[in-house]
């Protein structure tokens, strides 16, 4: 089937006619009233006996009443995934990296494995086997495949391609090296879950302090602070402008990030800027306002002063003019940094100080774990991280990591230096469906008291 001819059929009402003769056999017709007030005619025919057609008609009425009636009976998974990736997936995707991850999941894993399966015959068991096969190839890819299946079938249910989301509640398989062990205790009808957490997947507080100190005289100092003390993503950090900072209230408003626009080529952009375009944040939930800790705020002021000096020094330089776009993390010419700029310096800091060879993203994970270990709710942490759901926070951060609290007496002065000096009642994140006050200062105070 030509995917360009596939159209969503979101019906809000219907009219079904009686069984009649259609081309010397029996059948019946349906008129679907769609949500845009147009009509769609559907025919069920080819029954040898009138009784067979009557039986099918009653079955169809039941599906129409409970909104599970599907028009495309012969659509296969491959056809639907191609349609979804072209028309529906772009509505969910903001970043080029996510786009390519989805593309890889669909074309290299989903379609080759289950593409020929009829969409209406796609069962939870088939999806479980898909997850198992991909999980054996790569756990990371399996997580993306899971996301794609959940999202595509959710859209499919909304658009009446499938009667239900068969991927709902289907989890990835667990391995022998699974980090999480849940010990369930029944007591007075209440179930308690104890998490046994792998300690090797985050930095310790002592290591974080060392990383911050060692980065002080490197070009990635401000990047380190944003990641370790505010939990920001790489692409969010390099996209921060001074215009995003409320210097009076000491707040940071995250609205965009730097990355590659979907569909762009080198010819569409200025030289060396293909991956440095201003693009929407990863999800709508990623737009957020955060308090700026003192240490980060002081570093921002220093960077601002340096920015002004460089701009003034090159104000009349016509050969290499200053790129005055207001990026906090920029070169001496004001040009924004790439995501990979921090990697070499970060590696040097780890090797020089014999630190674990954990990736940059673990700075964000460590920040998350600090909050989780100090009784922040998952909803609160999800808002701070810009996650669309606390489930994402739980599965990817807090239930797989532990931070080691040692040398606290020696570290107290440093921890105190990063506490925001302000009325803690001011720090409240308002989010739809969340009724929670988040006080960042408490996290660090609890760590000191531990």
pLDDT value, residue 284 = 77
The answer to the question of residue 71 being in a domain is: no
The two structure tokens encoding residue 138:
């790569």
Query: Per-residue pLDDT for 146 more than 90?
Result: yes
Residue range of the domain that includes 387: 201-449
Structurally, the chain folds into a number of domains equal to 3
The answer to the question of residue 174 being in a domain is: no
Q: 84-93, 142-151, 356-365, 400-409: which range is least confident on average?
A: 400-409
Do 83 and 21 lie in one domain? The reply is no
Do 352 and 329 lie in one domain? The reply is yes
Give the CATH number, domain containing residue 428.
1.10.443.10
The answer to the question of residue 70 being in a domain is: no
Q: Is 222 left (phi over 0), alpha (psi -120 to 50) or beta?
A: alpha
Do 235 and 377 lie in one domain? The reply is yes
Residue keyed to tokens 């952009």: 269
Do 260 and 383 lie in one domain? The reply is yes
Each residue's pLDDT tens digit, 288-320: 999 999 999 999 999 999 999 999 998 888 888
Q: Is the dihedral of CA 100, 105, 106, 112 positive or negative?
A: positive
Do 61 and 83 lie in one domain? The reply is no
Q: What is the mean pLDDT of residues 95-100?
A: 86
pLDDT value, residue 355 = 94
Q: Considering the chain, what is the average pLDDT of its residues? A: 81
Do 32 and 96 lie in one domain? The reply is no
**pTM here?**
0.65
Q: 67-71, 281-285, 414-418: which range is least confident on average?
A: 414-418
Q: 182-196, 240-254, 256-270, 309-323: which range is least confident on average?
A: 182-196
Do 135 and 210 lie in one domain? The reply is no
**What are the two backbone dihedrals, phi and then psi, of residue 262, each rounded to the nearest 5 degrees?**
-65, 125
Do 60 and 104 lie in one domain? The reply is no
Do 55 and 88 lie in one domain? The reply is no
Do 207 and 154 lie in one domain? The reply is no
Q: How confident is the model at residue 78 (pLDDT cuts 50, 70, 90)?
A: very high
Do 388 and 280 lie in one domain? The reply is yes
The answer to the question of residue 116 being in a domain is: yes
Do 145 and 270 lie in one domain? The reply is no
The answer to the question of residue 270 being in a domain is: yes
Each residue's pLDDT tens digit, 358-404: 999 999 888 887 777 766 666 777 777 776 655 555 555 543 434 33
The answer to the question of residue 152 being in a domain is: yes
pLDDT value, residue 404 = 36
**What are the two backbone dihedrals, phi and then psi, of residue 192, each rounded to the nearest 5 degrees?**
-105, 140
The answer to the question of residue 183 being in a domain is: no
pLDDT value, residue 185 = 35
pLDDT value, residue 193 = 38
Q: What is the mean pLDDT of residues 27-46?
A: 92
The answer to the question of residue 91 being in a domain is: yes
Q: 43-47, 351-355, 365-369: which range is least confident on average?
A: 365-369
């Amino acid at each position: 089937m030509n995917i360009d001819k596939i159209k969503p059929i979101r019906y809000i009402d219907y009219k079904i006619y009686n069984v009649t003769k259609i081309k010397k056999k029996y059948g019946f017709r349906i008129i679907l009233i769609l949500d845009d007030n147009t009509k769609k005619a559907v025919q069920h025919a080819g029954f040898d006996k009138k009784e067979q057609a009557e039986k099918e008609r009653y079955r169809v009425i039941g599906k129409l009443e409970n909104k599970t009636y599907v028009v495309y009976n012969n659509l296969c998974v491959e056809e639907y995934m191609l349609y979804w990736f072209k028309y529906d997936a772009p509505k969910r995707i903001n970043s080029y990296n996510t786009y390519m991850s989805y593309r890889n999941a669909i074309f290299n894993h989903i379609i080759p494995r289950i593409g020929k399966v009829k969409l209406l015959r796609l069962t939870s068991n088939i999806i479980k086997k898909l997850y198992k096969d991909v999980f054996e190839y790569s756990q990371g890819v399996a997580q993306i495949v899971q996301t794609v299946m959940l999202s595509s079938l959710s859209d499919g249910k909304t658009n009446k391609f499938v009667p239900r989301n068969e991927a709902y509640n289907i989890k990835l398989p667990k391995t022998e090296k699974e980090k999480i062990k849940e010990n369930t205790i029944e007591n007075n009808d209440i179930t308690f879950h104890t998490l046994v957490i792998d300690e090797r997947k985050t930095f310790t507080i002592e290591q974080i302090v060392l990383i911050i100190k060692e980065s002080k005289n490197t070009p990635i100092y401000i990047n380190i602070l944003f990641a370790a003390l505010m939990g920001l993503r790489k692409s969010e950090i390099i996209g921060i402008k001074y215009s995003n900072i409320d210097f009076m209230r000491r707040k940071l408003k995250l609205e965009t990030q730097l990355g590659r626009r979907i569909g762009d080529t080198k010819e569409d952009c200025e030289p060396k800027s293909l991956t440095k375009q201003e693009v929407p944040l990863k999800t709508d939930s990623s737009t957020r306002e955060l308090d700026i800790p003192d240490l980060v705020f002081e570093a921002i002021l220093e960077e601002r002063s340096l920015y002004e000096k460089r701009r003034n020094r090159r104000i009349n330089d016509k050969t290499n003019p200053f790129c005055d776009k207001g990026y906090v993390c920029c070169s001496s010419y004001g040009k924004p940094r790439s995501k990979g700029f921090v990697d070499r310096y970060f590696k040097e800091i780890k090797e020089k100080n014999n630190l674990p060879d954990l990736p940059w993203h673990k700075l964000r994970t460590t920040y998350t774990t600090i909050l989780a270990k100090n009784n922040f709710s998952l909803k609160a942490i999800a808002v701070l991280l810009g996650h669309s759901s606390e489930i994402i926070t739980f599965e990817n951060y807090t239930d797989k990591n532990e931070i080691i609290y040692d040398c606290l007496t020696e570290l107290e002065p440093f921890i105190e230096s990063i506490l925001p000096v302000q009325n803690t009642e001011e720090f409240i994140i308002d989010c739809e469906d969340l009724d929670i006050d988040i006080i960042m200062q408490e996290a660090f105070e609890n760590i000191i008291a531990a």
